[in-house]
């Protein structure tokens, strides 16, 4: 809606927020990431004026990095209450690991908590208060870090982030900080000044206080120029992504969980790296350096046997199996196809004829289907009731017999023989008491099934087949 305004900055801010509301469904609610600083204070105030308090919720993150953090939380709570806006705050712990910048750790913790809080509110979007000066700083930082197009594209006005369920929007991305100051002073707003923003040991603060003022003297229009650079980079990145999607159609395996090694290596280096970057983003993995991706291509060309290559990145390892390449959890100290061993709790079931056995920790369900005795995967009813059933992770070294007269073999060999890639081997093993009974993707352990053969004949037992059905949607 159009509101009367008192100055150009007031109109500019309200128009930007009004356009953001107009991009959402009618009546949609928004969550404002509310730190209490000038930017988010102006955004929340304008959102209430434009859309009404009932359409807004203010979300505050308490990092605990400043001795004034409790004071800031109280300020934000009071500001929201004065405007009748729903308010929620959450404390987060910021990682102090060596090699991880505190800026990056705080940002990751903040977004993770904000996404979690948004899930508890009926909101269509999360609004962030970054403005045109922030965008210019981001482009410059990415340039100085040697970032590619995706980095130079900087902050998008709005996008759905992988892993998040709502769109993140930046309504003020074309508004200058000076204009927000004019807006806030005209509205007589009070806000928090974070003392850490003046610490030039942080790269962004050094740019803000020492570099940008000099740029403004010699290149007054640098903010608009850098904003155009981000726009051009974003357009070029979209074209690269479209090319990657075309290449993905040829190379993807198993719903893009894996890529064909041959199809990837048929591309030239630049196109192959572009596909790898795009594929990693679809899997929710952080971007890898050019050097790391170049090493991956080198290893893929040189590999001569299964599991002969490994590239570690962000807690995952890029591996190959036959013609497939894929990411699996783990570091270099772990075996290639044993990364899930022993990592899940045991689930037990005293079976009394249930048709399903839901295993949330495995993201799947066992289905008990009645079959004839001559079904190749038939299990006699007495074997399902003679002892509690349990679903367990692999402990390593398990063996089973897939043929009644065959030899006992390791699960690892059986998975390899059936061409089951490593990331699919993290399945629940079903035991009857202490005896291995069933393994998804392999079948029934004939050695254990033979135990109930006499009982089944004597009691005219019913027979059942076990089917493992993974969840369709993976969280």
Percent of the chain with pLDDT over 90: 40
Length of the chain, in residues: 475
**What does the pLDDT look like over 423-433, one tens digit per residue?**
678 889 999 98
CB 423 within 8 A of CB 412: no
Q: What is the DSSP letter of 423?
A: G
User: Residue 289 above 60 pLDDT?
Assistant: yes
CA–CA separation, 464 and 370 (whole Å): 4
Query: How many CA atoms are closer than 13 Å to the CA of 362, on its beta-carbon side?
Result: 29
According to the model, what pLDDT value does residue 263 have?
94
**Residue from 234, 269, 226 nearest 148 by CA:** 234
- Whole-angstrom distance, CA of residue 157 vs CA of residue 285: 22
Kindly report, residue by residue over 174-188, the tens digit of the pLDDT. Answer: 999 999 999 999 999
Residues 267-285, mean pLDDT to the nearest whole number: 92
Q: What is the pLDDT of residue 301?
A: 87
Name the pLDDT band for 35 (thresholds 50, 70, 90): very high
For residue 475, the model assigns a pLDDT of 29
Least confident of 286-290, 305-309, 353-357, 395-399: 305-309
State mean pLDDT over 306-319. Answer: 75
Indicate whether this model's pTM tops 0.75.
no
Of the two residues 334 and 187, the one the predictor is more confident about is 187
With a CB cutoff of 8 Å and minimum separation 6, the contacts of 178 are none
Which carries the bigger pLDDT value, residue 148 or residue 297?
Answer: 297
Percent of the chain with pLDDT over 70: 88
Q: How confident is the model at residue 405 (pLDDT cuts 50, 70, 90)?
A: confident
| Cα Rg, the chain, nearest whole Å | 29
> Per-residue pLDDT for 336 more than 80?
no
Mean pLDDT value across the chain: 84
Q: What's the average model confidence in pLDDT over 35-50?
A: 96
Note the pLDDT of residue 101: 59
Q: What is the dihedral of CA 169, 171, 173, 176, to 10 degrees?
A: -150
When mean pLDDT is compared across 18-27, 299-308, 393-402, the lowest value belongs to 299-308
- The lowest-confidence range among 196-205, 248-257, 299-308, 466-475 is 466-475
C-alpha distances in Å from residue 5, one per residue of 186, 305, 373:
10, 70, 81
CA distance 369 to 375: 11
Q: Is the pLDDT of residue 451 over 90?
A: no
Report whether pLDDT(39) > 90. yes
Cβ count near 342 (within 10 Å) = 10
Pick the more confident residue, 311 or 262: 262
pLDDT interval class at 143 (50, 70, 90): confident
58, 81 contact by CB (below 8 A): no
Tokens of 359: 């295993």
Residue-wise pLDDT tens digits, 62-117: 877 778 889 999 999 999 999 999 999 998 876 655 445 566 677 778 888 898 89
Q: Which of 148-162, 290-304, 336-350 has the lowest mean pLDDT?
A: 336-350
Q: Euclidean distance between the first and final Cα of the chain, in Å?
A: 38
Confidence of residue 332 (pLDDT cuts 50, 70, 90): very low
Identify the bridge partners of residue 75 per DSSP, sorted by sequence position.
Answer: none
């Amino acid at each position: 809606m159009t509101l009367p305004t008192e100055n150009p900055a007031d109109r500019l801010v309200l128009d930007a927020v009004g356009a953001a509301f107009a991009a959402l469904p009618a009546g949609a609610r928004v969550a404002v990431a509310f730190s209490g600083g000038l930017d988010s204070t102006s955004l929340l105030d304008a959102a209430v004026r434009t859309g009404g308090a009932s359409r807004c919720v203010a979300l505050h993150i308490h990092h605990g990095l400043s001795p004034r953090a409790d004071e800031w939380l109280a300020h934000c709570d009071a500001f929201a209450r004065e405007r009748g806006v729903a308010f929620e705050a959450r404390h987060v712990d910021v990682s102090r690991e060596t090699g991880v910048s505190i800026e990056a750790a705080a940002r990751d913790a903040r977004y993770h908590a904000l996404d979690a809080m948004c899930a508890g509110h009926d909101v269509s979007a999360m609004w962030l208060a970054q403005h045109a000066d922030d965008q210019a700083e981001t482009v410059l930082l990415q340039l100085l870090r040697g970032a590619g197009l995706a980095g130079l594209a900087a902050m998008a006005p709005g996008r759905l982030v992988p892993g998040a369920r709502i769109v993140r929007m930046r309504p003020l991305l074309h508004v200058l900080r000076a204009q927000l100051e004019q807006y806030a002073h005209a509205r007589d707003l009070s806000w928090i000044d974070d003392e850490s923003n003046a610490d030039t040991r942080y790269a962004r603060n050094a740019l803000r206080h020492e570099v940008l003022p000099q740029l403004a003297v010699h290149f007054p229009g640098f903010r608009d120029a850098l904003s155009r650079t981000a726009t051009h980079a974003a357009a070029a990145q979209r074209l690269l992504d479209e090319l990657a999607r075309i290449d993905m159609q040829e190379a993807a395996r198993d719903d893009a969980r894996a890529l064909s090694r041959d199809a990837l290596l048929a591309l030239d280096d630049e196109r192959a790296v572009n596909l790898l970057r795009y594929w990693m983003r679809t899997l929710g993995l952080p971007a890898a350096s050019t050097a790391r991706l170049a090493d991956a291509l080198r290893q893929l060309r040189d590999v001569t046997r299964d599991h002969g290559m490994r590239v570690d990145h962000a807690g995952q390892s890029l591996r190959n199996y036959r013609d497939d390449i894929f990411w699996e959890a783990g570091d270099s100290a772990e075996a290639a196809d044993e990364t899930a061993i022993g990592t899940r709790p045991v689930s037990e079931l005293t079976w009394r004829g249930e048709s399903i056995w839901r295993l949330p920790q495995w993201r799947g369900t066992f289905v008990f289907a009645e079959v004839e005795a001559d079904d190749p995967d038939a299990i006699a009813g007495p074997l399902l009731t003679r002892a509690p059933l349990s679903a367990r992770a692999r402990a390593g070294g398990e063996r089973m017999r897939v043929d009644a007269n065959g030899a006992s073999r390791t699960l690892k060999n059986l998975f390899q023989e059936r061409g089951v890639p490593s990331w699919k081997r993290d399945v629940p093993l079903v035991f009857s008491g202490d005896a291995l009974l069933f393994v998804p993707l392999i079948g029934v352990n004939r050695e254990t099934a033979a135990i109930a053969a006499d009982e089944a004949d004597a009691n005219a037992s019913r027979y059942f087949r076990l089917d493992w059905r993974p969840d369709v949607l993976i969280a």
